[in-house]
Homo-oligomer: A and B are copies of this chain.
Amino acid sequence: MSITIYDLAKKLNYSPSTISRALNNHKSIGKKTTLNIQKAAKEMGYKPNTQAASLRSKQSKTIGILISRINRPFVSTLISGIEDAARKSGYNVLISQSNDHYKDEITNANTLLQSRVSGLIVSLSMETKNTDHFKEFTDQGIPVVFVDRVPLSFNSYKVIIDNYNSAFQATQHLIEQGCKRIAHFAGSQHLNVYNQRRSGYLDALKHHNIPIDKELIINLKSLSFEEGKIATEKLLKLPLPPDGIFSANDTAALSAITYLKEQQIRIPEDIAIIGFNDDPIASIIEPSLSTVSHPAYKMGELSFQRILEHTTDRTIAGVSEIFVLDTSIIIRKSSKRY
């Protein structure tokens, strides 16, 4: 059916091994021979059988992505960045979603391991507290890059943003706009991203000598639109409602905006709001949502670069590096009082 190196070998009167080496630019094959073989291969429409190659060489030119849900602005943009970068380097991308379940994350990790991916890019599920299921990868020398939602302890590559500092800035911004009682929608605290955003929030308050009121910190499991509404309702019922909200994501912040508008509460005059992520919707909603911009696409590209460098330069096996990307605070109407 499709043509193999054996067909080429017969046609050109070389041995299959020479064909193979020539196609891979092996130095032990003469230049002319190499060029001839490559030309002939192209002419005859030779397409390497990647299964055979990876069976023998135990390398797959495929990387695995393991994320919570494709179907979210940050994640899909991240994947887009990974895919574009991988494609450029001739890598395929296997994708799998945990739907934020720990169990599915384990299952999918194992499947990807079986697929002999040559690298894995992971953003942890909401439920994940233990990351032992990734040890098998590093044990086998397969690089694992954690992105955004990363474990604290696991020794590996990590591509993140400075959640603490971003949150600090965001909170400080609200303070600068005159907010005295700033609420915080916090996410699952075992995840680095939400934990650090909370820390940044707390420290910004401290730094500006604003007392911390635990009633103003609302812990939300998934930071969904529904939860955002419930949280906002709760805040409004307080004896002393807040005059600012820093939400750990945009979804909950948008929900707050929607609900507050229904309740005829002015934004940002009565309550100023800032979110996190810069989802597309943030700039369109009225009032537009101030937020922290996450370089999702770039994080994807960079994650792939790490894997590529790791696989080309085997000397760096076992290295653990943390890459922190810049965010930017985007001030829009929802928090701009002056």
Contact = CB atoms under 8 A, between A and B. Distances in A.
Interface string A67-95: 00111110111011001100100001111
Interface in A82-130: 83-84, 87, 92-97, 99, 108, 110-111, 113-116
Interface residues of A, number: 47
A254 interface: yes
Given A55-B51, A94-B92, A116-B51, A69 B80 contact: yes
A177 to B, nearest CB: 22
Number of copies: 2
Contacts of A50: 114-116
A49 B58 CA distance: 10
Contact of A281 (B51, B62, B72, B280): B280
A51 B48 contact: no
Interface in A295-326: none
Contact of A94 (B84, B93, B99, B140): B93
A87 B76 CA distance: 18
A261 interface: yes
A261 B284 contact: no
Contacts of A286: 261, 285-286
Residue among A99, A116, A284 with max Cβ neighbours from chain B (10 Å) = A284
A79 B70 contact: yes
Given A49-B114, A49-B116, 13 more contacts: A47-B113, A48-B114, A49-B55, A51-B54, A62-B94, A70-B76, A70-B77, A71-B73, A83-B97, A87-B97, A93-B96, A254-B284, A285-B286
20 contacts: A47-B113, A50-B114, A50-B116, A51-B54, A69-B80, A70-B79, A71-B73, A71-B77, A83-B95, A84-B99, A87-B96, A87-B97, A87-B108, A87-B111, A92-B96, A93-B95, A94-B94, A95-B95, A280-B281, A285-B286
